[in-house]
Amino acid sequence: MRKLTLTILLMLLLSLALAACGGGSDEPAEGGEETAATSVGDAANGERLFNETVIGAASAPGCITCHSLEPGVVLVGPSHSDVGTRAQTAVEGMSAAEYLEQSIREPNAHITEGYTEGVMYQTYGEELTNTQINDLVAFLLTLE
C-alpha cells in the first residue's frame, strides 16, 4: 500500500512539474517571446477577441468598441474592414503582420491620417498575451 501511495504521489509531482514548464502563452506579452511576425495565430479566435466588448487583464475596451468592420463606418478609430490589405503597404520594409502587431503593442507608432495620437488604449501589449495578439493579427490579416 505504501508503495502505491508513493507512486501516486510521484506521478502527481511529475505532472505538476510538467505543467509548470508548459510555457507562458497565458501570461501578458513581454519582450523576447514569440510575436505575430514569428508565430501564426488563430484567426477564428482573433475574430472572437476582436468582437468582445472588453479584453485583456484589465478589461480594456475591445477592438469592436472603436473599430467598425463596415467599410467607411468610423466609430472612434478608422474602419478595419480592409485593414489586412492596407497593412501590406502601410510602412515600407515592414510586413503586414509586423505593422499590425506593432499597432497593437505601440498604438502611437503609426497614426492613421486624420486621427489623433493617444486616443487608442495604450497598454494592450502589456495586458494581452502573445497568443491573443497573434490571434488578433491573424484575424486582421483576413480583412481585405
pLDDT by residue for the chain (144 residues), tens only, comes to 554 343 444 444 434 333 333 333 444 444 445 555 556 899 999 999 999 999 999 999 999 999 999 999 999 999 999 999 999 999 999 999 999 999 999 999 999 999 999 999 999 999 999 999 999 999 999 999
Cα→Cα distances 87→15, 35, 37, 39, Å:
43, 17, 13, 17
pLDDT the model gives residue 40: 83
Q: Are 49 and 62 in contact (CB under 8 A)?
A: yes
Q: HSE of 45 in the Cβ direction (CA atoms, 13 Å)?
A: 10
Cα→Cα distances 24→14, 16, 20, 81, Å:
19, 15, 9, 32
Assigned C-alpha cell, 124: 494592450
- CATH code, residues 40-141: 1.10.760.10
